[in-house]
Amino acid sequence: MQLTSFTDYGLRALIYLASLPEGELTSITKVTDTYAVSRNHMVKIINKLGQLGYVETVRGKNGGIRLGMPAGNIVLGHVVRAIEPLQIVNCAPDFCNITPACQLKGILADARNAFLNELDKYTLLTLVDNNPPLRVLLGLPAEH
């Protein structure tokens, strides 16, 4: 299973924001520069994360973006469920003529659920807490 780039960069953006001091604002440009991703793509990602409450956007001259809730409250499985199209295969009868007898779709659904259940064991805080090498790689000060 491979996550879409939308979900991949959504998680990366959250990691970046969680690595900042609590409440600190940053810009979408800093996030896009850090990951060398299209600004247009990141704007769409941040917009979606904002709609879901994971990111707070502050408009105006001194505006920016920051986490919309504590990193310890952001469960990775919940984020992936909210932004990732989780259909692994197309089982529509007009697409696949063995759908009525196929057992693959159930097996793949079990595998997807196991994947998501594993992600549910971790929060965003798990990824950033006590991780100075991550801060260095993100170009952030070693301590906050």
Write the class of the CATH domain 3-85+122-136. Answer: mainly alpha
What does the pLDDT look like over 17-59, one tens digit per residue?
999 998 899 999 999 999 999 999 999 999 999 999 999 999 8
Reported confidence tier of residue 143, pLDDT bands at 50, 70, 90: low
CA dist 134 and 100 (Å) reads 48
Instruction: Kindly list the domain boundaries of the chain, sorted by start residue.
Output: 3-85+122-136
Residue closest to 15 by CA, chosen among 59, 54, 63: 54
Reported confidence tier of residue 85, pLDDT bands at 50, 70, 90: confident
Q: Give the mean pLDDT of the chain.
A: 92
Q: Which residues are annotated as a binding site?
A: 91, 96, 102
Residues contacting 43, CB < 8 A, separation 6+: 28
Q: Across-strand partners of 123? A: 75
Q: Which residues are annotated as a binding site for [2Fe-2S] cluster?
A: 91, 96, 102
CA dist 56 and 18 (Å) reads 12
Q: Is residue 105 within 8 Å of 99, Cβ to Cβ? A: yes
Reported confidence tier of residue 144, pLDDT bands at 50, 70, 90: low
pLDDT score recorded for residue 54: 98
